[in-house]
Amino acid sequence: MVAQIRPSQLAGWLREHHDRRPLVLDVREPSEMQQAHLAPDGFDLVHIPMATLPARLGELDRRRPVACLCHLGGRSQRVAMYLEQQGFEHVANIVGGIHAWSLECDPSVPLY
Protein backbone atom coordinates (compact mmCIF):
# COMPACT_ATOMS: atom_id res chain seq x y z
CA MET A 1 0.00 0.00 0.00
CA VAL A 2 1.31 3.43 -0.95
CA ALA A 3 2.10 5.56 2.09
CA GLN A 4 0.47 9.01 2.12
CA ILE A 5 2.72 11.65 3.66
CA ARG A 6 2.37 15.41 3.95
CA PRO A 7 5.42 17.49 3.05
CA SER A 8 5.84 18.29 6.75
CA GLN A 9 6.08 14.53 7.43
CA LEU A 10 8.74 13.83 4.80
CA ALA A 11 11.69 14.24 7.20
CA GLY A 12 10.25 11.54 9.47
CA TRP A 13 9.64 9.22 6.52
CA LEU A 14 13.22 9.79 5.37
CA ARG A 15 14.53 8.86 8.84
CA GLU A 16 12.52 5.63 8.77
CA HIS A 17 14.38 4.63 5.60
CA HIS A 18 17.87 5.69 6.61
CA ASP A 19 19.39 2.35 5.55
CA ARG A 20 19.06 3.34 1.87
CA ARG A 21 19.27 6.97 0.81
CA PRO A 22 15.70 7.95 -0.12
CA LEU A 23 14.74 9.45 -3.43
CA VAL A 24 12.14 12.11 -4.15
CA LEU A 25 10.82 11.49 -7.65
CA ASP A 26 9.42 14.66 -9.19
CA VAL A 27 7.01 13.63 -11.96
CA ARG A 28 6.05 17.13 -13.11
CA GLU A 29 6.66 18.50 -16.59
CA PRO A 30 9.87 20.46 -17.31
CA SER A 31 7.92 23.73 -17.53
CA GLU A 32 6.58 23.13 -14.02
CA MET A 33 10.10 22.47 -12.74
CA GLN A 34 11.12 25.90 -14.05
CA GLN A 35 8.33 27.52 -12.03
CA ALA A 36 9.10 25.83 -8.71
CA HIS A 37 11.49 23.16 -7.48
CA LEU A 38 12.86 21.63 -4.30
CA ALA A 39 16.37 21.76 -2.95
CA PRO A 40 17.40 18.23 -1.90
CA ASP A 41 17.95 17.96 1.83
CA GLY A 42 18.55 14.45 3.17
CA PHE A 43 17.33 12.87 -0.06
CA ASP A 44 18.24 12.68 -3.72
CA LEU A 45 15.95 14.42 -6.18
CA VAL A 46 15.25 12.95 -9.62
CA HIS A 47 13.01 14.49 -12.25
CA ILE A 48 11.24 12.04 -14.55
CA PRO A 49 8.00 13.38 -16.07
CA MET A 50 5.09 10.99 -15.56
CA ALA A 51 4.63 10.29 -19.29
CA THR A 52 8.25 9.18 -19.68
CA LEU A 53 8.44 7.00 -16.58
CA PRO A 54 7.69 3.59 -18.19
CA ALA A 55 10.58 4.09 -20.64
CA ARG A 56 12.92 5.29 -17.87
CA LEU A 57 11.91 2.86 -15.12
CA GLY A 58 15.28 1.11 -15.34
CA GLU A 59 16.96 4.27 -13.99
CA LEU A 60 15.38 3.63 -10.57
CA ASP A 61 16.38 1.08 -7.91
CA ARG A 62 13.36 -0.96 -6.77
CA ARG A 63 14.87 -1.42 -3.29
CA ARG A 64 15.37 2.29 -2.70
CA PRO A 65 12.64 4.27 -0.86
CA VAL A 66 10.84 6.58 -3.29
CA ALA A 67 8.54 9.49 -2.41
CA CYS A 68 6.67 10.81 -5.45
CA LEU A 69 5.95 14.50 -5.97
CA CYS A 70 3.87 16.51 -8.45
CA HIS A 71 1.99 19.82 -8.34
CA LEU A 72 -0.99 18.85 -6.14
CA GLY A 73 -0.58 15.12 -5.48
CA GLY A 74 -2.78 13.42 -8.11
CA ARG A 75 -0.15 12.46 -10.67
CA SER A 76 2.31 11.46 -7.98
CA GLN A 77 -0.31 9.14 -6.46
CA ARG A 78 -0.77 7.39 -9.82
CA VAL A 79 2.99 7.11 -10.25
CA ALA A 80 3.42 5.75 -6.72
CA MET A 81 0.79 3.08 -7.39
CA TYR A 82 2.53 2.20 -10.67
CA LEU A 83 5.90 1.88 -8.93
CA GLU A 84 4.38 -0.38 -6.31
CA GLN A 85 2.94 -2.58 -9.06
CA GLN A 86 6.42 -2.73 -10.61
CA GLY A 87 7.91 -4.18 -7.42
CA PHE A 88 9.24 -1.11 -5.64
CA GLU A 89 9.47 -1.93 -1.93
CA HIS A 90 8.94 1.44 -0.19
CA VAL A 91 6.81 3.99 -2.02
CA ALA A 92 5.09 7.12 -0.74
CA ASN A 93 2.98 9.87 -2.24
CA ILE A 94 3.65 13.41 -1.08
CA VAL A 95 0.09 14.60 -0.49
CA GLY A 96 -0.59 18.10 -1.77
CA GLY A 97 2.55 18.11 -3.90
CA ILE A 98 4.88 21.04 -4.27
CA HIS A 99 1.99 23.40 -3.58
CA ALA A 100 1.66 21.97 -0.06
CA TRP A 101 5.46 21.94 0.22
CA SER A 102 5.46 25.71 -0.21
CA LEU A 103 2.72 26.15 2.40
CA GLU A 104 4.09 23.68 4.98
CA CYS A 105 7.85 23.62 4.58
CA ASP A 106 9.39 26.31 2.44
CA PRO A 107 7.50 29.50 1.54
CA SER A 108 10.33 30.47 -0.84
CA VAL A 109 9.05 27.78 -3.22
CA PRO A 110 6.70 29.70 -5.54
CA LEU A 111 3.04 28.76 -5.75
CA TYR A 112 1.64 28.28 -9.24
Instruction: Check which CATH number belongs to the domain holding 10 and give it.
Output: 3.40.250.10
Q: Is 70 labeled as catalytic in the residue annotation?
A: yes
Gap between the Cα atoms of 66 and 104, Å rounded? 20
pLDDT in tens, 11-68: 899 888 878 888 999 999 999 999 999 988 889 999 999 999 999 999 999 999 999 9
Q: Taking the CA of residue 40 as centre, how many other CA atoms within 13 Å lie in the half-sphere pointing to its CB?
A: 13
- Asked if the structure places residue 9 within a domain, the reply is yes
Assigned domain for 45 exists = no
What is the number of domains present in the chain?
1
Q: Is residue 43 part of a domain?
A: no
44 found inside a domain = no
Catalytic residue among 27, 69, 70, 83: 70
* Contact predicate 82/53, CB 8 Å: yes
Whether the Cβ atoms of residue 23 and residue 48 lie closer than 8 Å to each other: no
Tens of pLDDT, residue by residue over 82-95, are: 999 999 989 999 99
Write down the pTM of the prediction. Answer: 0.95
Predicted confidence at residue 107, as pLDDT, reads: 95
| Domain ranges, residue 55 | 3-38+51-104
